[in-house]
Amino acid sequence: MSNTERNAEGIAKYCAGMEDKLVEYLDGRAKPAGRRAVEEHLAACSGCRNRAEEFRNLWAALEDLPVVSPSPAFDASLRARIAAEPARRGFWSWLPSPRLAFAVTALVAMSVWVASIPRVTINESPMTGVQVEADFSMIRDLPVLENYDVLSKFDALSELPAPPNGVATEEGTKEIR
Amino acid sequence: MARTDVQLMLDVKAGDEQSFELLLRKYRTPLVNFLYRMVRDSAVAEDLAQEVFLRVYRARKEYAPSAKFTTWMFRIATNLALNSVRDNRHRQMEISMDHAVDAGDDEHPAMEVPDRTPSVEQQLVARNRSEMILRAVHALPDKQRAAVLLHKYQELDYDEIARILECSESALKSLLFRAYETLRAELAPLVNSVRV
């Protein structure tokens, strides 16, 4: 049987209500009312009485735990560690060094300067119906505009017989344009 | 008239280094013992005890006597010890995954037991007994171990221990009962021999 099993079995033998009272009673720190209540219970319960006795014996056995002493070098070593502590920093010591302060100031000034340069603003106002119509026309005429150079340099057009009057030619040219 | 720990600490706060010396002299042995029983390594215990005093010294300017000095000091010590145990457990787990280490008792030799008995045999019996107790205490769960050490060996009040371990007094009393119950089972030969 393992210790845990023995332990679990042991606890089952005793009153659960004594768990938070017995230790306090045995070490003499229980208040008078609590002490009387435990004493009355122990008088009536042999299981808890045995447990109390075993705890007293255990505490006597625990006295045999060896007491160790700090090594002779303990104090000297501690003093050395205290001496190695950095000096406490006052309020002024938290201020940055001149070089760092200059760098930060320059960075801030440059940021302000960059932010103050006027930017090209894009008119983001909502498009009106007329604008939409104009854009749509332009897209529609795009193939004609793309072919404008070809049409203007097309030699076959120059060999065409002259129109009966200059007005018609001009109108035709205008139409192409 | 002897000054209280709080008064000594307030004097340290005011710049009196001698008061720190008095606190050091008063608490270095209890602290080293408490930490040794927590971590079971004398070198680590001394290092941690120094760290506790160092932290007390560092915090002297901000010290406010809101609780007992021992509550504050053992709270620092307990936290350091629990962290150390956790780190060490983690390290050992890593080692054991690489090598099957036989974690025998020789790895943690007990510190010198004061030579109070004349015969070698009695000395060996006493040493074995101490070693058995130390092993049983060390086998307790971390929080139970700290509770037992602060209750049985430092004799701190319940409210102090509860504040150190951050639990209610009622929970602490149950925790102590379970811890002593485990020790009673583990140390049954010693308990019975005392009984006889």
Mind listing the pLDDT tens digit for each residue in B131-153? 899 999 999 999 999 999 999 99
Instruction: Give how far B21 is from chain A: nearest CA, Å.
Output: 9
For tokens 């706060």, name the residue: B13
Per-residue pLDDT of chain A (177 residues; tens, 9 = 90+): 344 334 444 444 668 788 889 999 999 999 999 999 999 999 999 999 999 999 999 999 999 888 899 999 999 999 999 998 876 555 555 556 667 777 888 888 888 888 888 766 555 555 666 777 777 777 777 766 667 666 666 666 666 666 665 444 444 444 444
Q: Which of A19, A29, A61 sits opposite B187 (nearest CB)?
A: A61
Residue B38 in this model has a pLDDT that exceeds 80: yes
Residue B158 in this model has a pLDDT that exceeds 70: yes
Query: What does the pLDDT read at residue A58?
Result: 95
Q: Provide the 3-class DSSP secondary structure of residue B66.
A: coil
Comparing B195 with A163, the larger pLDDT belongs to: A163
Give the ipTM.
0.79
Which positions in chain A touch B129 (Cβ < 8 Å)?
64
B158 in Cβ contact with B172 (< 8 Å)? yes
The chain-wide mean pLDDT, for chain B, equals 86
Confirm whether B111 is domain-assigned: no
Confirm whether B109 is domain-assigned: no
- Range of B177's domain? 116-196
Per-position b or e across A43-64, b if 16+ CB within 10 A of its CB: eebeebeebbebbebbbebbee
Domain ranges of chain A: 3-62, 129-176
A47 touches B at CB < 8 Å: no
Average pLDDT on B110-135 reads 76
Give how many domains chain B has, as a whole number: 2
B134 in Cβ contact with B37 (< 8 Å)? yes
Confirm whether B36 is domain-assigned: yes
Does A62 contact B32 at a Cβ distance shorter than 8 Å? no
CATH for B151? 1.10.10.10
Q: Provide the 3-class DSSP secondary structure of residue B117.
A: coil
CATH for B81? 1.10.1740.10
- Can you state the angle between helices B169-186 and B188-195, rounded to 10 degrees? 80
A88 touches B at CB < 8 Å: yes
Q: Which of A22, A29, A78 sits opposite B177 (nearest CB)?
A: A22
Q: Are residues B85 and B126 in the same domain?
A: no
Q: Are residues B88 and B176 in the same domain?
A: no
CB pairs under 8 A between A and B: 117
Q: Which of A62, A63, A91 to probe the B interface (max B CBs under 10 A)?
A: A62
Q: Are residues B4 and B80 in the same domain?
A: yes
Which positions in chain B touch A18 (Cβ < 8 Å)?
177
C-alpha–C-alpha distance, residues B193 and A87, integer Å: 57
Q: Are residues B92 and B134 in the same domain?
A: no
Which secondary structure element, helix H or strand E, spans residue B171, and what is its range?
A: helix B169-186
The fraction of chain B above a pLDDT of 70, given in percent, is 84
Does B32 contact A67 at a Cβ distance shorter than 8 Å? no
Residue finishing a domain among B47, B66, B101? B101
DSSP annotation of B106: G
Which tokens go with A104? 């930060």
Q: Are residues B3 and B83 in the same domain?
A: yes
In a 13 Å sphere around the CA of B101, the CA atoms on its Cβ side amount to: 14
Residue B171 in this model has a pLDDT that exceeds 80: yes
Task: Answer left, alpha or beta for residue B97, where phi above 0 means left and psi between -120 and 50 means alpha.
Answer: alpha
Confidence grade of residue B67 (pLDDT, cut at 50, 70, 90): confident
Angle at B40 between CA B37 and CA B46, to 5 degrees: 85
A69 touches B at CB < 8 Å: yes
Residue finishing a domain among B101, B126, B161? B101
In a 13 Å sphere around the CA of A89, the CA atoms on its Cβ side amount to: 7
Q: Are residues B76 and B134 in the same domain?
A: no
A21 touches B at CB < 8 Å: yes
Does A54 contact B191 at a Cβ distance shorter than 8 Å? yes
What are the backbone dihedrals phi and psi of residue A119, each rounded to the nearest 5 degrees, phi first?
-105, 155
B157 in Cβ contact with B111 (< 8 Å)? no
Q: Are residues B50 and B82 in the same domain?
A: yes
C-alpha–C-alpha distance, residues A153 and A158, integer Å: 9
Confirm whether B108 is domain-assigned: no
Query: What does the pLDDT read at residue A121?
Result: 55
Q: Write the CB contacts of A66 (distance below 8 Å, at least 6 apart in sequence).
A: B110, B111, B112, B113, B114, B130, B134
Q: The pTM is what? A: 0.66
Query: What does the pLDDT read at residue A175?
Result: 46
C-alpha–C-alpha distance, residues A168 and A173, integer Å: 9
Residue finishing a domain among B39, B66, B101? B101
Q: Are residues B37 and B94 in the same domain?
A: yes
Q: Are residues B1 and B96 in the same domain?
A: yes
Average pLDDT on B20-38 reads 95
B36 in Cβ contact with A71 (< 8 Å)? no
Per-position b or e across A105-119, b if 16+ CB within 10 A of its CB: eeeeeeeeeeeeeee
DSSP letters of chain A?
A: --HHHHHHHHHHHS-GGGTTTHHHHHTT-S-HHHHHHHHHHHHH-HHHHHHHHHHHHHHHHHTTSPPP---TTHHHHHHHHHHTSPPPP-TGGGSPPHHHHHHHHHHHHHHHHHHHS--PPP--PPPPHHHHHHHHHHHHHHHHHHTHHHHHT-HHHHTSPPPSSHHHHHHHHHHH-
Q: Which of B113, B170, B184 sits opposite A58 (nearest CB)?
A: B184
Question: What is the number of other CB atoms lying within 10 angstroms of the CB of residue A17?
Answer: 12
Which positions in chain B touch A30 (Cβ < 8 Å)?
none
C-alpha–C-alpha distance, residues B56 and B73, integer Å: 7
Confirm whether B85 is domain-assigned: yes
Q: Are residues B59 and B88 in the same domain?
A: yes
